[in-house]
Chains A and B, each alone.
Chain A
Amino acid sequence: MEIAVEVTFPSASQARAAVKALIPDNVNLPEGLTLSMFFRGKTVHVAIGSRLSMMATAASTLDEILEHISVSRQVMAQG
């Protein structure tokens, strides 16, 4: 199973800063879970892969990542 999400930022520099801010926490993933995160232009791409039995874990991980993307975006919006 793979869940893929795209989030668009106002600028490429903001998308880059958000990805750089989030990547250091992508450690110690549970076995069976894969995560990729990158930016292309103004868009941040997040993909989480897991076994069906780990769907809840994958959903929780994605939930936290989206929250962090939202924080990062709001912080940069302050200028």
Chain B
Amino acid sequence: MLCLGIESTAHTFGCAVVDEKGRILSDARAVYRAPEGKGIHPREASRHHIEASHGVLKEALSQAGAGMKDIDLVGYSAGPGLGPCLRVGAVVARTVAGYHKKPLVPVNHALGHIELGAALTGASDPLVLLVSGGHTMILAFLEKRWRVFGETLDITIGQLLDQFGRAMGFASPCGGRIEKLASESSGQYLHLPYVVKGNDVSFSGMLTAAVKLASTSKMADVCYSLQETSFAMLAEAVERALSFTGKKEMMIVGGVSANKRLAQMLEMACERQASRFFACPIKYAGDNGAQIAWTAILDYKKTKKAVKIPDAFATQSWRLDTVDVAWR
């Protein structure tokens, strides 16, 4: 079985072909880049996707050495995400599935991150930390659903890094630049608000404080303190969730999982809780079509359910903890 996966929740338009053994036969992407110092504009990003979509699709099929006749299943990111961007992916998916008469499977984007991460790392029943521009969630699987064991109360960790970086005039995504600057700090820690409520985290106060600090302190020290504080909050919440759930595996997925300092802190937490640490390979940490294709395969193989084209929805708000997972 070959599945074409289509991803378009935010800045990435991606198409990939994956087989039922989880082999990624192709992975084509085009990424919208916001102007320096600016954030992602949904309508501008969707225009980018419109321009890029047919070329990315063509590339994905070509890399896989496949034509539409070889594709058995089409999966698409149905949410959560930016409305205009989601609709482009949904139109492509509905067109391809409808015209070529292929079954169509809507996929929750967050679930895609987890399932591809699990497939690539070999984690079987992990506590998951999903960290990206759109998500900051700690999740564990129980009784057919991913349950939330902590999440952000306001902005995500990706938004914290990007909004701070943009305020400093960095180009988005800003995480890499902040990580590099933090590594150049002498280790001078500057106080920032540390807000963990229950097992949830809050970053908006830290963002305001960090931007303010940047006008009077060395940039490297502010970046270092921003990382140390925000990542320690996440590591604390993850460690508590590991202790509570007793999970013997912990996996980090999402774009921010590329940060080495965050991985280092989580590894220490895992060591204390006797859990194995897994990180999604950087190449697939960000948004991509393979995560959608693989999750669609898992879903379709188990349920044999596809949606009819008129019912193929795209929704900006679709919480992961409302999705029934039949295959786990």
| Chain A interface (Cβ < 8 Å from any Cβ of B) | 13-14, 17-18, 20-25, 64, 67-68, 70-72, 74-79
The 4 nearest A-B residue pairs measured at CB? A21-B94, A17-B99, A74-B54, A21-B95
Question: Which single residue of chain A is at the shortest CB-CB distance from B61?
Answer: A78
CA distance A76 to B314 in the complex (A): 21
Chain A residue contacts of B84, Cβ below 8 A: 64
CA distance A21 to B96 in the complex (A): 9
Report whether B99 and A13 are in contact in the complex, using a CB–CB cutoff of 8 Å. yes
CA distance A23 to B313 in the complex (A): 10
Task: From the candidates A18, A25, A64, A79, name the one contacting B95 in the complex (CB within 8 A).
Answer: A18
Question: Is residue B109 within 8 Å, beta carbon to beta carbon, of the partner chain?
Answer: no
Supply 17 further A-B pairs (C-beta < 8 A) apart from A21-B91, A76-B99.
Answer: A23-B310, A24-B94, A24-B312, A25-B87, A25-B91, A64-B87, A67-B50, A68-B87, A71-B88, A72-B91, A72-B95, A75-B54, A75-B57, A75-B92, A75-B95, A76-B95, A78-B61
CA distance A76 to B91 in the complex (A): 11
Chain A residue contacts of B88, Cβ below 8 A: 67-68, 71
Chain A residue contacts of B87, Cβ below 8 A: 25, 64, 68
| Chain B interface (Cβ < 8 Å from any Cβ of A) | 46-47, 50, 53-54, 57-58, 61, 67-68, 84, 87-88, 90-92, 94-96, 98-99, 309-314
Report whether B54 and A78 are in contact in the complex, using a CB–CB cutoff of 8 Å. yes
Output the least CB separation between B172 and chain A (Å). Answer: 23
Report whether A20 and B54 are in contact in the complex, using a CB–CB cutoff of 8 Å. no
Q: Contacts A64-B84, A67-B47, A78-B58; is A20 near B98 (CB within 8 Å)?
A: yes
Q: Contacts A68-B87, A68-B88, A78-B58; is A20 near B53 (CB within 8 Å)?
A: no
Question: Which single residue of chain A is at the shortest CB-CB distance from B312?
Answer: A24
**Which DSSP category, helix, strand, loop or mixed, fits chain A's interface?**
helix
Output the least CB separation between B214 and chain A (Å). Answer: 37
Report whether B54 and A79 are in contact in the complex, using a CB–CB cutoff of 8 Å. no
Interface-central residue, B68, B88, B91, by most chain A CB under 10 Å: B91
Report whether A24 and B311 are in contact in the complex, using a CB–CB cutoff of 8 Å. yes
A/B interface sample: 29 pairs, CB < 8 A: A13-B99, A14-B99, A17-B95, A17-B98, A18-B95, A20-B309, A20-B310, A21-B95, A22-B94, A24-B94, A24-B312, A24-B313, A24-B314, A25-B87, A25-B91, A64-B46, A68-B50, A68-B91, A71-B50, A71-B54, A71-B92, A72-B92, A72-B95, A74-B53, A75-B54, A75-B92, A75-B95, A76-B95, A78-B54
CA distance A67 to B88 in the complex (A): 9
Chain A residue contacts of B58, Cβ below 8 A: 78
CA distance A60 to B57 in the complex (A): 26
Question: Which single residue of chain A is at the shortest CB-CB distance from B309?
Answer: A20
Question: Which single residue of chain B is at the shortest CB-CB distance from A73?
Answer: B95
